[in-house]
């Protein structure tokens, strides 16, 4: 069993970083393939024989039953090979009553006549060409009985919120009493809308069979989960399914699970004895996969006149689908952020006839910081204290709820350095003071926090007779840089040039890793890789000292060094490739793994940051444009300056999106979403983002894992939108608590000024 | 998308002839709008007549001192033309406020005028829409209609026309030249090209079926400043919430009606000495809100005087 104490006290090549591979701004390993269009994504993978093409048909009602099925015209259409609905789809494993996103279980497609949400897949047409399949799909005639409640928006059912299963509110002290007694208070509700992941690559699968053995190329974040679940859906042993996901065009949590493309392509390929490709359309992605649910977060803060929080509460109401369990935990992060003796946090969940809710871009923090970090700004104003100083005043010594020591916490340093670099002292506390032509200009800030996690993972390293190291791991790279950081870890651990490392990931035949999500990817996959690298070093060293033909013969294996592709003991050395060629011409492999430390729970471990934003608000139109953004982050040792910075700035841009443009509205009459493509679901474009920078503090969190690194993928978004909202207030004196802050909402208030 | 046949027209006469003779035929130019509509099952032409390569892409001086812009001139080409930029800056500004660079490279002048509404219910074939499926009702009327019309809407349809370019052309008092299915040429004010929805929102223009737009003619540039301002949810690549084109004494509004909206009442008020605020107030007497789009009235009230002032500044500077 591993232990934090061992991690802290043991050195390793990543910590020593002798060759300097760690932290360097290394270009993406797979970058050239992607920018030249030669990295095959799942739908583009060429199968061993010509494929057929499946097109799915989606339900137009929010809840009900299919009452009649007429597929005659579709079946008779040119090129059509099969048409399936629930009436004739093959038998599949039964769906569990309630399912979560981490336990593998069957996900049958076209399972019954029941419709649970608008856009659920209800039929598939497979034809010889995509065009024929698309044309025939329009001929599938299904009749429905529409049982949807007529109002399916979250706010219509707000009062029906119940405690999420297995949870309870967390109260420390006596919140109500302290809040009632507090001389200065804030009490407001912030609303965030339902959001879609909008990955560039829609979900897609290419599947083929070889006897009883299935191969699927698909686009998912979690290899093992999808492989096991697919096998269970098809009622096959796990090992009968090989699942590959080499390149993933964005996940954002939405590909943590998998969807009907995977199941239907697999089933149809078996039925037809021929490879089958199935993809979601952009429109189908919006309803047919998952989304981030809307939240209402009520924040209550009570403080003394000198700015000490005495009471703090975040209560979130959110929604999920009828069969689901997912809760957007928008209150949780607040449990570790600020000191306050009396605290109350919790969630209420409403089940609706809406598509399936799930994790998206920093679930919890992304929504929750949009409320608390604005409430802190409001409190600062009421108190007449600078927002940075207010946060520093309430900086806890140890975790404010559990009392556990922090593994490391540099939030104050992030805020202070950010303030200085950004020129925060130039901010005028009274809103509406700075004009630039028709623009009012303002500055805002917010704190960022996001949990740090480590999950069990395995990896293997092979060295071949050319001295090339191959990293193998059932891990994914969803555009984050996994390939690259694994290569860096391998190069540093085995002392070989980066160019002598190959990385193979995204394959269920490789040693399992949990995948990408919850910003645990690099720490988890990387720690297992480091272990495999260390084991390979040991194996190499043993061979060297026991090989009479090696200059290292007879030496102490523990003294062998690895550098520039050369192994050495003091001045006795030879090339790694020569040793392997003599002793293991077919290569030498070592396995490694990481497990969470038994004592890890003794510490409170998070990543932190501070956002500073300057915006302009057009006084005529209510348009908001960000002018400058700076994030300063503390997230452990940084493996790759470039990919980490891209993750952080990308997150900050998503924060701008959540504040200003992003969101989907539900039409309650249909239980469907209004924006169904990327022309109407607005994420920021280049012109929306002015100056943007992210700075990473020097930090090592030796308690986090053997490398002292932490995740950055979800930290950047946390708090970024709140800083934008605070800057808008500072610019023009208007608070909009119903996100996104669009011109129509601002205009009403601007007119009144 | 459904199967269709395709031909490339040899010349303009051949194009209108083919359109007249083939049932359910449509012209296709850049295809940036029509192909989307076909993929989404909103339009189902049986036959496409490709007009993109007709020799109608030139921009030429007219004897009157204006410019004739061929219908196949791409949006990028028109916006970048030195004469357009110097004499009709409002047109360049309007074009580059639309779509993205990639779209403008493909989009043509004729196609841009005839692009269809961005109403979300029009795009979602599971919803009622009188424009897409006449008689099915209007999904937007009681729906999420934040971006619907404040001028000239009917109970059958409250959609807006999404073109930016057309708003500038209306402010410039442009003329459209066409070839009708019989092969006869005609020309008429661009202001008269589009219709209000009335009871038949599926009929969007005064063109007869199979009539080909061949050019847009700009009169000599008006005296005074010009300017285009588009208000949108993000800085680029977004439909307008409202826009305004000012050219000389003329004002046209975008994203507020089923057609580019010439603010004739405001123009008249200005001409008779009213202030900009009064003038736009006069225009807005005719405006009505539908559910969630009421903010547009306020927006136009603020936007137009600001744009007039800016245009006046520029007129002075020039
Ligand atoms: C994502 C997106 C965003 C957009 N944003 C904007 C925006 O912000 N502002 C804006 O103004 N526009 C915007 N557009 C619309 C774009 O400008 C139009 O799609 C384009 O101008 C259409 O031109 P086209 O040549 O591609 O037309 P096509 O798609 O080829 O044709 C459109 C229609 O016009 C007909 N047609 C074409 N040429 C002729 C002709 N010469 N005579 C008669 N009929 C003809 C066709 O039959 C068809 O019905 C956007 C489009 C997209 C896809
Ligand atoms: S507003 Fe017009 S386009 Fe939109 S749904 Fe109604 S009829 Fe259709």
In this predicted model, what pLDDT tens digit does every residue of A159-213 receive, in sequence order? 889 999 999 999 999 999 999 999 999 999 999 999 999 999 999 999 999 999 9
Pocket test residue of A675, A676, A677, A679 for ligand 1, highest count of atoms within 8 A of CB: A679
What sign for the dihedral angle of Cα B43, B49, B51, B52?
A: positive
| For residue B263, pLDDT beyond 60 | yes
Domain presence at residue A172: no
Mean pLDDT of B75-79: 98
Domain membership of residue A503 as a residue range: 13-40+455-595
CB A665 within 8 A of CB A641: no
Distance CA A377, CA A442 (A): 13
Distance CA A42, CA A265 (A): 12
Residue A69 vs residues A72, A108, A260, B144: alpha-carbon distances, Å = 9, 19, 19, 32
CB A684 within 8 A of CB A750: no
> Which residue, chain included where needed, has tokens 């006069």?
B282
Phi, psi of A69 (to 5 degrees): -130, 125
Residue A94 vs residues A110, A230, A325, A370: alpha-carbon distances, Å = 12, 12, 18, 39
Distance CA B140, CA B158 (A): 7
Nearest-by-Cβ selection for B120 from A135, A660, A680:
A680
Instruction: For helices B295-317 and B276-284, give the axis angle rounded to 10 degrees.
Output: 140
Q: What's the pLDDT at A324? A: 85
Residue A407 vs residues A404, A600, A601, B292: alpha-carbon distances, Å = 9, 9, 10, 50
Q: What's the pLDDT at B318? A: 52
- Any atom of ligand 1 within 6 Å of the Cβ of B38: no
Q: What's the pLDDT at A101? A: 67
| Closest of B125, B122, B127 to residue B239, by C-alpha | B122
In the three-class reduction of DSSP (H, G, I as helix; E, B as strand; rest coil), residue A101 is classed as coil
Model confidence at A71, pLDDT cuts 50, 70, 90, reads very high
Nearest-atom number in ligand 1 for the CA of B45 is 47
Domain presence at residue A182: no
Q: What's the pLDDT at A721? A: 98
| For residue A436, pLDDT beyond 80 | yes
Mean pLDDT of A453-471: 97
Mean pLDDT of A391-409: 97
- Please give the distance of CA A58 from its chain centroid, rounded to a whole number: 27
Q: What's the pLDDT at A552? A: 98
In tens, the pLDDT along A215-240 reads: 999 999 999 999 999 999 999 999 99
- Nearest ligand by distance to the CA of B156: 2
Pocket test residue of B107, B119, B243 for ligand 1, highest count of atoms within 8 A of CB: B107
Q: What is the DSSP letter of A738?
A: B
Name the least confident of A494-508, A565-579, A738-752, B269-283.
Answer: A738-752
Q: What's the pLDDT at B92? A: 98
Determine whether the interchain pair A747/B299 forms a contact, defined as Cβ–Cβ distance below 8 Å: yes
Determine whether the interchain pair A751/B298 forms a contact, defined as Cβ–Cβ distance below 8 Å: yes
Q: Strands of B71-172 (E only): list them.
A: none
Q: What's the pLDDT at B291? A: 85
- Is B306 at the interface with chain A, CB within 8 A? yes
Model confidence at A156, pLDDT cuts 50, 70, 90, reads confident
Which tokens is A281 given?
């359309």
- Nearest Cα of chain A lies from the Cα of B13 at a distance, in angstroms, of 32
Mean pLDDT of A372-400: 98
Domain presence at residue A190: no
CB A290 within 8 A of CB A355: yes
Q: What's the pLDDT at A305? A: 98
| Closest of A256, A294, A239 to residue A516, by C-alpha | A256
Model confidence at A503, pLDDT cuts 50, 70, 90, reads very high
- Any atom of ligand 2 within 6 Å of the Cβ of B279: no
- Any atom of ligand 2 within 6 Å of the Cβ of B138: yes
Model confidence at B217, pLDDT cuts 50, 70, 90, reads very high
- Is B46 at the interface with chain A, CB within 8 A? no
**What kind and span of H or E run contains A68?**
strand A64-70
Determine whether the interchain pair B231/A623 forms a contact, defined as Cβ–Cβ distance below 8 Å: yes
Tell me the CB-side half-sphere exposure of residue A117, using CA atoms within 13 A: 25
Distance CA A150, CA A671 (A): 8
Distance CA A753, CA A734 (A): 9
Return the bridge partners of A299, or none.
A188, A314
Q: What is the DSSP letter of A337?
A: T
Domain presence at residue A448: yes
Calculate ∠ Cα A704-A338-A359, nearest 5°: 60
Q: To probe the interface with A, which of B234, B241, B280 has the most A CB atoms within 10 Å?
A: B234
The per-residue pLDDT of chain A, averaged, comes to 96
Calculate ∠ Cα A451-A453-A459, nearest 5°: 155
Which tokens is A382 given?
């009421």
What sign for the dihedral angle of Cα A255, A259, A262, A263?
A: positive
State the Cα torsion B188-B190-B193-B198 to the nearest 10°: -120
- Residues A393, A446 share a domain: yes
R_g (Cα) of chain B, nearest Å: 19
- Residues A656, A573 share a domain: no
- Nearest ligand by distance to the CA of B201: 2
Distance CA A724, CA A166 (A): 35
Model confidence at B315, pLDDT cuts 50, 70, 90, reads confident
CB A728 within 8 A of CB A444: yes
Instruction: From chain A, pick out residues whose CB is under 8 angstroms from the CB of B230.
Output: none
**What kind and span of H or E run contains A691?**
strand A691-696
Out of A260, A614, A662, A714, pick the active-site residue: A714
Mean pLDDT of A409-417: 98
- Any atom of ligand 1 within 6 Å of the Cβ of B112: yes
Model confidence at B216, pLDDT cuts 50, 70, 90, reads very high
Q: What's the pLDDT at B317? A: 66
Determine whether the interchain pair B126/A676 forms a contact, defined as Cβ–Cβ distance below 8 Å: no
- Residues A720, A624 share a domain: yes
| For residue A100, pLDDT beyond 80 | no
Last residue of some domain: A595, A619, A649? A595
Domain presence at residue A564: yes
- Residues A500, A553 share a domain: yes
Residues of A contacting chain B (CB within 8 angstroms): 60, 78, 118, 131, 134-135, 138, 283, 438, 620-623, 625, 660-661, 665, 667, 669-670, 672, 674-677, 679-680, 682, 684-688, 742-744, 747-748, 751
Distance CA B45, CA B1 (A): 10
Cis peptide before A740 (omega within 30 of 0): yes
A714 carries an active-site annotation: yes
Phi, psi of A486 (to 5 degrees): -65, -40
Pocket test residue of B4, B96, B115, B132 for ligand 1, highest count of atoms within 8 A of CB: B115
| For residue A590, pLDDT beyond 60 | yes
- Any atom of ligand 1 within 6 Å of the Cβ of B228: no
Tell me the CB-side half-sphere exposure of residue A485, using CA atoms within 13 A: 33
- Please give the distance of CA A83 from its chain centroid, rounded to a whole number: 35
Q: What's the pLDDT at A149? A: 73
- Residues A85, A101 share a domain: yes
Domain presence at residue A685: yes
Span from the CA of B134 to the centroid of ligand 2 (angstroms): 10
* Counted domains in chain A: 3
| For residue A575, pLDDT beyond 60 | yes
Q: What's the pLDDT at A97? A: 81
Tell me the CB-side half-sphere exposure of residue A288, using CA atoms within 13 A: 27
Q: What is the DSSP letter of A252?
A: T
Which tokens is A308 given?
């000490």
Which tokens is B271 given?
């001409």
- Nearest ligand by distance to the CA of B198: 2
Name the least confident of A321-330, A527-536, A577-586.
Answer: A321-330
Q: Indicate which residue's Cα is closest to atom 21 of ligand 1.
A: B112
Model confidence at B243, pLDDT cuts 50, 70, 90, reads very high
| For residue A753, pLDDT beyond 70 | no
Residue A378 vs residues A433, A445, A672: alpha-carbon distances, Å = 18, 12, 35
Pocket test residue of B142, B201, B290, B293 for ligand 2, highest count of atoms within 8 A of CB: B201
Q: What's the pLDDT at A152? A: 77
- Residues A374, A326 share a domain: yes
- Any atom of ligand 1 within 6 Å of the Cβ of B210: no
| For residue B129, pLDDT beyond 70 | yes
| For residue A582, pLDDT beyond 70 | yes
Q: What's the pLDDT at A681? A: 97
- Residues A209, A121 share a domain: yes
Distance CA A729, CA A41 (A): 43
- Nearest Cα of chain B lies from the Cα of A432 at a distance, in angstroms, of 19
Last residue of some domain: A570, A595, A620? A595
**% of chain B with per-residue pLDDT over 90:** 97
- Residues A736, A659 share a domain: yes
- Residues A690, A676 share a domain: yes
Span from the CA of B33 to the centroid of ligand 1 (angstroms): 5
CB neighbour list of residue B21: distance below 8 Å, 6 or more residues apart: none
CB neighbour list of residue A707: distance below 8 Å, 6 or more residues apart: A12, A14, A15, A489, A523, A526, A527, A530, A637, A639
Mean pLDDT of A3-25: 96
Determine whether the interchain pair B120/A674 forms a contact, defined as Cβ–Cβ distance below 8 Å: yes
Which tokens is A605 given?
């471990």
CATH assignment of the domain containing A692:
3.30.365.10
| For residue A14, pLDDT beyond 60 | yes
Domain presence at residue A135: yes
| Closest of A410, A442, A411, A482 to residue A221, by C-alpha | A482
- Residues A476, A624 share a domain: no
CB pairs under 8 A between A and B: 86
In tens, the pLDDT along A243-262 reads: 999 999 999 999 999 999 99
Model confidence at A148, pLDDT cuts 50, 70, 90, reads confident
Start-to-end CA span in chain B (Å): 51
In the three-class reduction of DSSP (H, G, I as helix; E, B as strand; rest coil), residue A732 is classed as helix
- Any atom of ligand 1 within 6 Å of the Cβ of B31: yes
- Residues A681, A608 share a domain: yes
Span from the CA of A60 to the centroid of ligand 2 (angstroms): 18
| For residue A603, pLDDT beyond 60 | yes
Model confidence at A142, pLDDT cuts 50, 70, 90, reads very high
- Any atom of ligand 1 within 6 Å of the Cβ of B37: no
In the three-class reduction of DSSP (H, G, I as helix; E, B as strand; rest coil), residue A22 is classed as coil
Q: Indicate which residue's Cα is closest to atom 34 of ligand 1.
A: B111
Last residue of some domain: A225, A251, A279? A279
Model confidence at A98, pLDDT cuts 50, 70, 90, reads confident
- Residues A487, A426 share a domain: no
Distance CA A71, CA B193 (A): 43
Q: To probe the interface with B, which of A286, A667, A668 has the most B CB atoms within 10 Å?
A: A667
Domain presence at residue A286: no
């Amino acid at each position: 069993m591993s232990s934090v104490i061992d991690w802290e006290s043991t050195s390793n090549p990543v910590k020593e970083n002798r060759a300097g591979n760690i932290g360097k701004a290394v270009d993406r390993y797979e970058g050239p393939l992607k920018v030249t269009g030669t990295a095959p994504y799942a739908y583009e993978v060429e199968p061993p024989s010509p494929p057929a093409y499946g097109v799915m048909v989606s339900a137009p009602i929010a809840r009900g039953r299919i009452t009649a099925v007429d597929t005659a015209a579709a079946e008779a259409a040119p090129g059509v090979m099969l048409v399936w609905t629930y009436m004739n789809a093959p038998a599949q494993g039964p769906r569990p009553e309630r399912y979560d996103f981490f336990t593998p279980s069957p996900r049958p497609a076209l399972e019954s006549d029941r419709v649970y949400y608008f856009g659920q897949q209800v039929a598939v047409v497979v034809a010889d060409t995509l065009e024929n399949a698309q044309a025939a799909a329009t001929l599938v005639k299904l009749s429905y009985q529409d049982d949807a409640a007529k109002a399916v928006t979250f706010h219509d059912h707000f009062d029906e919120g119940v405690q999420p299963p297995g949870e309870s509110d967390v109260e420390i002290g006596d919140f109500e009493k302290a809040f009632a007694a507090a001389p200065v208070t804030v009490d407001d509700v912030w609303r965030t809308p339902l959001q879609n992941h909008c990955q560039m690559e829609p979900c897609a699968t290419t599947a083929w069979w070889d006897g009883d053995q299935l191969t699927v190329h698909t686009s998912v974040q979690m290899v093992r989960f999808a492989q096991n679940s697919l096998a269970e859906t098809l009622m096959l042993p796990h090992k009968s399914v090989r699942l590959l996901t080499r390149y993933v065009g964005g996940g954002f949590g939405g590909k943590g699970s998998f969807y009907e493309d995977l199941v239907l392509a697999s089933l149809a390929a078996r039925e037809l004895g021929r490879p089958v490709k199935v993809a979601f359309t952009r429109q189908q992605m919006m309803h047919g996969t998952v989304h981030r649910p809307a939240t209402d977060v009520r924040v209550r803060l009570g403080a003394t006149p000198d700015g000490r929080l005495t009471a703090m509460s975040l209560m979130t109401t959110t929604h999920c689908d009828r069969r689901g369990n997912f809760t957007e935990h928008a209150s949780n992060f607040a449990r570790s952020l600020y000191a306050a003796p009396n605290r109350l946090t919790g969630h209420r969940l409403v089940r609706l006839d809406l598509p399936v809710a799930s994790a998206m871009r920093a679930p919890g923090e992304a929504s929750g910081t949009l409320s608390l970090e604005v409430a802190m700004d409001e409190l600062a104003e009421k108190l007449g204290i600078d927002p940075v100083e207010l946060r520093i005043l309430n900086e806890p010594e140890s975790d404010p709820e559990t009392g556990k020591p922090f593994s490391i916490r540099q939030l104050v340093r992030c805020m202070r350095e950010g303030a200085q670099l950004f020129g925060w002292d130039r901010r005028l506390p009274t809103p509406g003071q700075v004009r630039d032509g028709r623009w009012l200009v303002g500055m805002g800030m917010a704190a960022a926090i996001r949990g740090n996690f480590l999950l069990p993972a395995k990896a293997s390293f092979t060295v071949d007779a050319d001295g090339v190291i191959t990293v193998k791991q059932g891990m994914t790279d969803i555009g984050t840089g996994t390939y690259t950081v694994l290569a860096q870890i391998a190069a540093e651990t085995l002392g070989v040039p980066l160019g002598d490392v190959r990385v193979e990931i995204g394959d269920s035949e490789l040693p399992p890793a949990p995948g990408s999500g919850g910003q645990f990817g690099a720490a988890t996959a990387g720690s297992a890789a480091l272990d495999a690298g260390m084991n390979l070093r040991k194996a190499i060293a043993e061979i060297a000292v026991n090989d009479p033909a090696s200059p290292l013969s007879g030496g102490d294996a523990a003294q062998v060094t690895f550098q520039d592709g050369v192994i050495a003991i003091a001045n006795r050395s030879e090339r790694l490739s020569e040793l392997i060629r003599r002793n293991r011409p077919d290569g030498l492999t070592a396995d490694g793994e990481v497990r969470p430390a038994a004592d890890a729970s003794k510490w409170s471990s998070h990543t932190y940051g501070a956002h500073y934003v300057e915006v302009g608000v057009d006084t005529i139109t209510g348009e908001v444009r960000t002018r400058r953004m700076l994030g300063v982050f503390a997230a452990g040792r940084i493996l790759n300056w470039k990919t980490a910075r891209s993750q952080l700035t990308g997150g900050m841009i998503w924060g701008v999106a959540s504040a200003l443009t992003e969101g989907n509205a539900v039409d309650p009459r249909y239980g469907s979403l209004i924006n169904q493509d990327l022309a109407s679901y607005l994420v920021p474009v280049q012109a929306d983002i002015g100056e943007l920078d992210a700075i990473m503090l020097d930090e090592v969190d030796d308690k986090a894992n053997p490398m002292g690194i932490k995740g950055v993928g979800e930290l950047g978004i946390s708090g970024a939108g709140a800083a934008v909202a605070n800057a808008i207030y500072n610019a023009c004196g208007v608070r909009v608590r119903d996100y996104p802050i669009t011109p129509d909402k601002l205009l009403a208030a601007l007119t009144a000024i | 998308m459904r199967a269709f046949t395709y031909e490339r027209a040899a010349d303009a006469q051949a194009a209108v002839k083919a359109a007249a003779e083939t049932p359910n035929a449509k012209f296709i130019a850049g295809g940036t709008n029509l192909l989307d509509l076909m993929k989404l099952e909103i339009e189902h032409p049986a036959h496409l007549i490709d007009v993109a390569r007709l020799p109608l892409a030139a921009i030429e001086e007219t004897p009157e001192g204006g410019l004739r812009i061929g219908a196949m001139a791409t949006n990028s080409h028109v916006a970048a033309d030195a004469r357009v930029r110097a004499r009709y800056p409002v047109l360049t500004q309007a074009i580059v406020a639309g779509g993205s660079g990639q779209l403008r490279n493909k989009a043509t002048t004729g196609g841009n005028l005839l692009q269809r509404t961005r109403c979300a219910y029009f795009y979602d074939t599971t919803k009622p829409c009188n424009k897409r499926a006449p008689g099915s009702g209007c999904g937007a009327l009681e729906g999420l209609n934040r971006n619907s019309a404040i001028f000239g809407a009917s109970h059958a349809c409250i959609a807006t026309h999404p073109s930016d370019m057309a708003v500038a052309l209306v402010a410039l008092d442009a003329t459209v030249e066409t070839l009708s299915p019989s092969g006869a040429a005609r020309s008429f004010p661009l202001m008269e090209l589009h219709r209000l929805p009335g009871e038949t929102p599926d009929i969007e223009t005064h063109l007869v079926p199979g009539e080909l737009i061949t050019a847009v003619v700009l009169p000599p540039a008006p005296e005074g400043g010009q300017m285009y301002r588009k208000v949108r949810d993000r800085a680029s690549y977004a439909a307008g919430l409202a826009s305004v084109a000012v050219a000389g004494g003329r004002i046209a509004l975008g994203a507020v009606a089923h057609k580019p909206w010439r603010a004739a009442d405001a123009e008249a008020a200005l001409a008779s000495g009213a202030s900009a605020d009064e003038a736009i107030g006069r225009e807005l007497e005719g405006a009505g809100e539908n559910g969630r789009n009421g903010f547009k009235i306020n927006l136009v009230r603020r936007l137009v005087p600001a744009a007039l002032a800016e245009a006046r500044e520029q007129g002075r500077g020039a």
